[in-house]
Amino acid sequence: MKFIIDVHSHIFSARDIPLKGYLLSRNYEDKIQKLLSPILIPSIAKCIRGKLNREKNVFIKIKCKCTMGLVRLFMGGQYLKWGDTLSKDIESIISELIETFEKDEIDLFIPLMIDYEYWFKNTPDTLIKDQIDFIYENVILPYEGKFHPFVSFDPARELAFRKKLCNPDGDPEKYGSMNLVKDAIEKKGFIGVKLYNSMGYKPFNNASVDDKRRRISLHKKKYVFKGEEYDEVLTELYDYCVENEVPITTHCGMYGIESYPDASFDFGKAVYWRDVLDQEKFKNLHLNLAHFGWYTPEGYTGKITWVKDICKMLDDYNYLFTDVSCHRVVLKKYIRKFKSDYKKIGSDFPIVKERLLFGTDWHVLKRVPNFRDFKDDYIDVLKHENNFNDAEIKNFLSGNALNFLGLYKGGKNLKRLEKFYKDNNINPPEWFKSIRLSDGRS
C-alpha cells in the first residue's frame, strides 16, 4: 500500500509559546526586515495574541490593523498569513493543516511540540502539561490515527523541576520534562521526542559550552545549570529512548530559532551528535536531524555546509535520518541549485536515499510563497535526471519514516500504538493496518 507520512509539522498557537521571544529570535535575512523586526515584533506579538483572545477594545483593534498593514508592507503578505494561523485555536489550526495538504493525501501527520519557556523572555503561555493533555484529547483521540505528535523535552525544565525552582511565570515547577515525556509516550499516543539544541545545550559534553551558555542572560539568571547537569538529564533521556525505542527529532539548521545570533553554531551543529552516537549504548538511538542542516544559499556544495557532515554521519550510524522540512524548493530561483546539489549527493552518498524523510514544517512553511506545492516540487527535485527512482521516492514519502519511527513488525512503537488503539476503542487507520501486516522493514 502507498501512503504518505509528514514527519515534521507544527500545530502550536500563539498561546502555546513565548511568542515575542520566539518571533524576535528568528534570523531575518532581508536587511529592512532585520532593521525593523525589533521595532515591529513586540506589537505583532501583542496583536496576534489579542486576536486569539478575541480582543474587544476598539482602539487596540484599530492600532493592530495599522500594525498589520506595516507587516504586510515590510515583512510580506505570507508573514501576515502565518500570523493569522498563529492567532487561531488548535482545532482551527488542525482543520487548516488538513485542508492545506488535502491534494497531497497525507495519511499521518507528526506535529512536533516545542518548549521554549525557559529560553525566551517571559510571555505567559499555556502550561506544557495542559498542552499535552489538550492535544491528546482534541487531536490524537478524535482523529483516530491521523495525528501522532512528538512531545518536547527541555533539559532546563527538567533541572528546574529537580531543584524545586519556580518556572518563568513564578509558580513552582510542577512538571519535570522526563515525566511528561513518559506519560505522553506510554499513555497518550505520542510517538517521539523533540529537542531544540540551538536554545542553549549541546547533545552531550555541555561543560565545554558553559561559558557560551552564560551569554544567555535570561530570567535574572535563575536557570544557570552546569554542563554536567545538562549531560546527566540528557543521558537519562537517551537511555529511556533507546530502551523503549522512542525516536528523537532535533532542530538542525544553521539559522532559525536560537537563543542568540549564531547560537546554532555553538550548540546545534550536526557533528555534535557524534558525541552521543559514538557511545556504544546509544548507537541504536533513532535520530532525525531536522532540516538536513540545510542553509539555502550554501546547500551541499557551499563553503559552510552541515549537509555534507550529515551525509558522512548517515554512512556511520545505522539509525540516523534527516528531514527536508522548510527547504525553499518552492521558490523558482533555488530550484536549479537544489537539483544539482541532490544529483551530487545521490552519487557521493547513496545512503541518503534510505534516510531522507519527507516533512513540511507547516505552519512555519506558510511564510514561504507557493508553500502548497512543497511536496510536488520536492519530488521533482529528487526525480531530476533519474536521481531517485519510484521506489526511492516511495521510501522518501513513507518507508524511511517507518524505519525512523520504529513502526515495523516487532517494533516497540508499533506495539504501543496497537495497545493505544485498543485501549481507546479506535479502529486503526488503513496505513497502520497495512504496516502491521507487512513483513517488517524494507
Chain positions contacting Zn ion, by CB under 5 A? 361
| Range 79-93 burial, b when 16+ CB lie within 10 A, else e | bbebbebbbbebeeb
Closest to 218 in 3D by CA, of 171, 261, 259: 259
Rounded to a whole number of angstroms, the minimum distance from the CB of residue 252 to Zn ion is 10
The residue among 115 and 361 lying less far from Zn ion, judged by its C-beta, is 361
Closest to 334 in 3D by CA, of 372, 368, 292: 368
Q: Residue 134: count other Cβ atoms within 10 Å of its Cβ.
A: 16
Rounded to a whole number of angstroms, the minimum distance from the CB of residue 106 to Zn ion is 16
Q: What is d(CA 44, CA 83) in angstroms, rounded to the nearest whole number?
A: 8
Q: What is d(CA 50, CA 163) in angstroms, rounded to the nearest whole number?
A: 35
116: its cell numbers = 521554549
Determine the residue with CB nearest Zn ion: 361
The residue among 325 and 395 lying less far from Zn ion, judged by its C-beta, is 325
The residue among 268 and 411 lying less far from Zn ion, judged by its C-beta, is 268
Rounded to a whole number of angstroms, the minimum distance from the CB of residue 324 to Zn ion is 12
- Alpha helices (H) along 286-411: 307-316, 332-348, 352-355, 374-383, 390-394, 400-405
The residue among 358 and 408 lying less far from Zn ion, judged by its C-beta, is 358
Phi, psi of 295 (to 5 degrees): -120, 120
The residue among 257 and 407 lying less far from Zn ion, judged by its C-beta, is 257
The residue among 107 and 361 lying less far from Zn ion, judged by its C-beta, is 361
Rounded to a whole number of angstroms, the minimum distance from the CB of residue 391 to Zn ion is 28
Q: What is d(CA 296, CA 337) in angstroms, rounded to the nearest whole number?
A: 9
Rounded to a whole number of angstroms, the minimum distance from the CB of residue 406 to Zn ion is 21
Q: What is d(CA 264, CA 258) in angstroms, rounded to the nearest whole number?
A: 6
The residue among 196 and 396 lying less far from Zn ion, judged by its C-beta, is 196
Rounded to a whole number of angstroms, the minimum distance from the CB of residue 83 to Zn ion is 17
Q: What is d(CA 137, CA 131) in angstroms, rounded to the nearest whole number?
A: 10
Q: What is d(CA 12, CA 113) in angstroms, rounded to the nearest whole number?
A: 7
Q: Three-class SS of residue 195?
A: strand
Radius of gyration of the chain (CA): 21
Rounded to a whole number of angstroms, the minimum distance from the CB of residue 289 to Zn ion is 12
260: its cell numbers = 542568540
Rounded to a whole number of angstroms, the minimum distance from the CB of residue 249 to Zn ion is 9
The residue among 245 and 361 lying less far from Zn ion, judged by its C-beta, is 361
